[in-house]
Amino acid sequence: MDQSSLNSLLKPKSVAVVGASSQPGKIGYTVIENLIKGGYKGKLYPINPTATEILSLPVVPSVTALPEAVDLAVITVPVKLVAQVVEECGQKGIKALSVITSGFSEVGRKDLEDQMLEIARRYGMCVLGPNIVGTLSNSDELNASFAPFLPFPGKATLITQSGALLIAMDAITYTRKVGFDKMISIGNMADVDFADLITWLDTDPNTSCICLYIEGFKDGRKFIEASRKTKKPIIALKAGVSAHGAAAAASHTGSLAGAVKVYGAAFQQAGVVQASDLNNLFDRTLALSLQPPLRKENLLIITNGGGVGVLATDAAERYGIPLKFAPADVQEELKKHMPAFGSAKNPVDLTGMAGNDWYYESVKFAYAHPWTDGLVVLYCETAMTNPLEIAQAIKKAIDETGVKDHPVVVSMVGGTRCDQAMQWLVENGIPAYPAPDEAMNGMAALREYNNIRQMIADDGDGCDPTGSKISREIIAKARADGRGSLTEIEAKQVFSAYGLPVTETNLSKSEDEAVTLAKKTGFPIVMKVVSPDIIHKSDAGGVKVNIKDEAGVRSAYQTILKNCKAYKADADIRGIAVQEMAPLGTEVIVGSINDPTFGPTVMFGLGGIFVEVLKDVTFRVAPVNKQQVSQMVGEIRSVAILAGARGEAPRDRAALEDLICRYATMVYDLRDEVAETDANPVLVYEEGKGLKVVDARVILKKK
Ligand code: COA
């Protein structure tokens, strides 16, 4: 996307509204009215074939009759007229289009959307929408939308896929006092998408935080790339997190992948902080748009009420924020600003006797002290204090320290006087919340932002794709055979080609051959049916383990054949695999899906009940570097098992991380061919003793 065309879209020097109307209540009327009411200072041209004047502005009869090639055309004509209007805009030399009109791909008319886009591209115009509310910008005094007013001013910018939500959030900015500079409705994203806007907003001096409402991406990887490069905090609320991609899964990994997990992984890799719901989005946006990140762990709470202090402490624990006591010298100094029955621990309780001075002195000292990395100031309304004066004392104290790189958030718990005081704080750059847990949520977002950016800061090394040629030959043979998946032996050959340690497995076509192979492999061995028609081999009675001698091989061979024929009479049985029996180890699962939005995505979890019952698994969009793998392994809930629970020796985590890294490289390298894979189980041994992939599954993409 040519970023200069986004300047025309978002900071237009001239605007035409094509489909402007003189009839109040019509969208074409409201957009003109909003542009006037919003105070737009550029040239404004209503276009309508019959009207002569709309809201005292002279009307231009058609796009072609415009006296100049405007920067932006806002289109509010019905869908059947859009293509013609876009053609005229192109001929006129207009640079950007904001298409409010509905009736395109959202109702199954992708053909109309493609037609519009084709015309726009031919003339080099960018298109926002279609199916949008429009764009709003306080700093440009631009309300090119049918949302009723510009948002409560501030430094966040919203990009939303839901137009209705834009209008609702616009109104909420006033009740919640969370300030926004811009609100952009992105609609069907025929052309301009999240990534394009994020890149543009990164250099917008009026945006300090990018706030997203997302239903789904067209190109997930483009979003990750753009977000990673951004220097500003991005916060995302993802809607529609149920039943995504899991529906038609043929692999274990596929059945465990849901939008929450895959989008969650992508947000992490993109350095994007997440919000859990709309309230949470506002709380977090407020902090992220006004305060620097919490870079280290020393967070101090100052309060005039024990109760709100405890609530904030509980919230800190919920958000994973550690709280510790300040050093003795800090406590000693703080004690000077409270009665004898106050507490200088953490929370610092100034008691209900605290007035403006104690707040001022304690905040100033604590905020300036090198021990303090961040401050949460709480206040309960009392009869002896004036909330606005307390707010002003806090702000004065903060300003006088000259410290700029430590975050501070405030909660003022009380009535309308507190509301007014908090509005004053927000207007003066300090996030303020009516409840202590909301303030702590804001601080948690500042901490998460810091941590997530640090995690992605080091790109680290990935693994080389070594096995491409051999694997593609194996896959081509399977396809020529009319198969949609590889046999276990083929899957292991592919894994092995990418350097994954697999158990030695050979195919026998007769009982005698099975005996010869078993002797070559060395007892004990495992025998398994090889059939493209039997994916779940154990269910079919197609697996025998711990076979210790020749007689056992012969008996297993016959039993497996008998069982599998009984399970599926017409199953195409290619033979019986004779496999090295790996010694017992800690079971883990590694797998992949080819996600519709993000492409190849790798999964890791502990095996057994951890994956079956607890679904304790984690995902990353592939490929992954070694640092990302290390985070991935570290974030499963049952990670302690790998460190050696109940007196067991620690497992070989280095070998495990190497395996996941290679695995992700493999599935990324083969992304055009492979749909889903499982290495399940992988047995991980003691430190230094490596691991073995015991079973392998590769499902091919349908072509
Ligand atoms: N150039 C300029 N104006 C033109 C025109 C042209 N070539 N052809 C027609 N017009 C004028 C019409 O004369 C009319 O003005 P009038 O009121 O003076 O007659 C105006 O454009 C609008 O056309 P109209 O047929 O009255 O449509 P409408 O106002 O009822 O609806 C939309 C138009 C775009 C608002 C409607 O089709 C739509 O898509 N609504 C949904 C919008 C939405 O919800 N967006 C997403 C939210 S998430």
Query: Residue-wise over 662-696: b if at least 16 C-beta within 10 A, else e?
Result: bbbbbbbbbbebbbbbbbbbbbbbeeeebbbbbbb
Distance from the alpha carbon of residue 45 to the mean position of ligand 1, in angstroms: 16
Q: Using most ligand atoms within 8 A of CB, pick from 29, 34, 48 the residue to mutate for ligand 1.
A: 48
Atom number of ligand 1 nearest to Cα 163: 48
pTM: 0.92
Contact yes or no for 180/156 (Cβ under 8 A): yes
Express each pLDDT in 223-252 by its tens digit: 999 999 999 999 999 987 655 444 445 566
Distance from the alpha carbon of residue 180 to the mean position of ligand 1, in angstroms: 29
pLDDT value, residue 251: 62
Distance from the alpha carbon of residue 658 to the mean position of ligand 1, in angstroms: 59
Average pLDDT over residues 438-461: 90
Express each pLDDT in 11-20 by its tens digit: 999 999 999 9
Strand 126-128 relative to strand 525-530, pairing: unpaired
Split at pLDDT 50, 70, 90, the class of 8 is very high
Distance CA 309, CA 305 (A): 6
Contact yes or no for 245/190 (Cβ under 8 A): no
Distance from the alpha carbon of residue 132 to the mean position of ligand 1, in angstroms: 13
Distance from the alpha carbon of residue 66 to the mean position of ligand 1, in angstroms: 19
For the cut 70, the answer to whether the pLDDT of residue 506 exceeds it is yes
Distance from the alpha carbon of residue 50 to the mean position of ligand 1, in angstroms: 13
Measuring from atom 38 of ligand 1, which residue has the nearest CA? 101
Atom number of ligand 1 nearest to Cα 51: 18
Average pLDDT over residues 105-134: 97
pLDDT value, residue 537: 87
Average pLDDT over residues 529-557: 93
Measuring from atom 5 of ligand 1, which residue has the nearest CA? 19
Distance CA 519, CA 10 (A): 73
Proportion of the chain above pLDDT 90, given as a percent: 86
Atom number of ligand 1 nearest to Cα 166: 48
Q: Which residues contact 116 (CB under 8 A, 6 or more apart)?
A: 82, 83, 86, 99, 104, 127, 130, 190
Atom number of ligand 1 nearest to Cα 62: 1
Q: Using most ligand atoms within 8 A of CB, pick from 55, 77, 105 the residue to mutate for ligand 1.
A: 77
CA distances from 207 to 240, 337, 419, 431 (A): 27, 38, 25, 16
Distance from the alpha carbon of residue 184 to the mean position of ligand 1, in angstroms: 20
Tokens of residue 236, six digits? 């995302």
For the cut 70, the answer to whether the pLDDT of residue 258 exceeds it is no
Average pLDDT over residues 675-690: 95
Q: Which of 224, 322, 222 shows the shortest CA–CA distance to 269?
A: 224
Site residues for ligand 1, CB cut-off 6 Å? 18-19, 21-23, 26-28, 47-49, 51, 62, 76-79, 81, 85, 100-103, 131-133, 163-164
Q: What is the DSSP letter of 686?
A: B
Contact yes or no for 459/628 (Cβ under 8 A): no
Taking phi over 0 as left and psi of -120 to 50 as alpha, with beta for the rest, 499 belongs to left
Distance from the alpha carbon of residue 305 to the mean position of ligand 1, in angstroms: 57
Site of tokens 């440009």: 140
Measuring from atom 23 of ligand 1, which residue has the nearest CA? 77
Express each pLDDT in 45-68 by its tens digit: 999 999 999 999 999 999 999 999
DSSP secondary structure string for all residues of 486-543: --HHHHHHHHHHTT--B--EEEESSHHHHHHHHHHH-SSEEEEEE-TT-SSTTTTT-E
As a residue count, the chain comes to: 703
Per the prediction, the chain carries an average pLDDT of 94
Distance from the alpha carbon of residue 76 to the mean position of ligand 1, in angstroms: 5
Distance CA 691, CA 693 (A): 7
pLDDT value, residue 246: 44
pLDDT value, residue 240: 78
C-alpha dihedral over 320, 286, 260, 605, to 10 degrees? -30
Measuring from atom 3 of ligand 1, which residue has the nearest CA? 19
Distance CA 149, CA 136 (A): 8
Beta bridge partners of 686: 651
Strands of 100-148, DSSP E: 126-128, 134-137, 142-145
Distance from the alpha carbon of residue 25 to the mean position of ligand 1, in angstroms: 11
Contact yes or no for 599/671 (Cβ under 8 A): yes
Q: Using most ligand atoms within 8 A of CB, pick from 21, 112, 133, 169 the residue to mutate for ligand 1.
A: 21
Express each pLDDT in 634-658 by its tens digit: 999 888 889 987 788 999 999 999 9
For the cut 50, the answer to whether the pLDDT of residue 275 exceeds it is yes
Would you call 665 helix, strand, or coil by DSSP?
helix
Q: To the nearest 5 percent, what fractions of the chain are helix, strand and coil? A: 40, 20, 40
Beta bridge partners of 673: none
For the cut 60, the answer to whether the pLDDT of residue 43 exceeds it is yes
Write the single-letter amino acid at 540.
A
DSSP secondary structure string for all residues of 393-420: HHHHHHHHH---SS-EEEEEESSHHHHH
Please tell me whether the peptide bond between 387 and the residue prior to it is cis, using omega within 30 degrees of 0: no
Q: How would you write 591-637 as a 3-class SS string?
A: EEEEECCCEEEEEEEECCHHHHCCCCEEEEECCCCHHHHHHHHHCCC
Distance CA 692, CA 85 (A): 63
Atom number of ligand 1 nearest to Cα 164: 48
Atom number of ligand 1 nearest to Cα 129: 46
Atom number of ligand 1 nearest to Cα 100: 45
Distance from the alpha carbon of residue 99 to the mean position of ligand 1, in angstroms: 11
Taking phi over 0 as left and psi of -120 to 50 as alpha, with beta for the rest, 98 belongs to beta
Q: Which of 666, 615, 657, 684 shows the shortest CA–CA distance to 486?
A: 666
Express each pLDDT in 153-202 by its tens digit: 999 999 999 999 999 999 999 999 999 999 999 999 999 999 999 999 99
Average pLDDT over residues 83-94: 98
Q: Which residues contact 513 (CB under 8 A, 6 or more apart)?
A: none
pLDDT value, residue 245: 43
Split at pLDDT 50, 70, 90, the class of 254 is low
Split at pLDDT 50, 70, 90, the class of 1 is confident
Distance from the alpha carbon of residue 53 to the mean position of ligand 1, in angstroms: 17
Q: Which of 258, 170, 164, 174 shows the shortest CA–CA distance to 211?
A: 170
CA distances from 244 to 238, 257, 272, 460, 698 (A): 12, 8, 20, 30, 21
Express each pLDDT in 373-424 by its tens digit: 999 999 999 999 999 999 999 999 999 999 999 999 999 999 999 999 999 9
Distance from the alpha carbon of residue 79 to the mean position of ligand 1, in angstroms: 8
Contact yes or no for 397/356 (Cβ under 8 A): no
Measuring from atom 30 of ligand 1, which residue has the nearest CA? 26
Atom number of ligand 1 nearest to Cα 131: 46
Would you call 101 helix, strand, or coil by DSSP?
coil
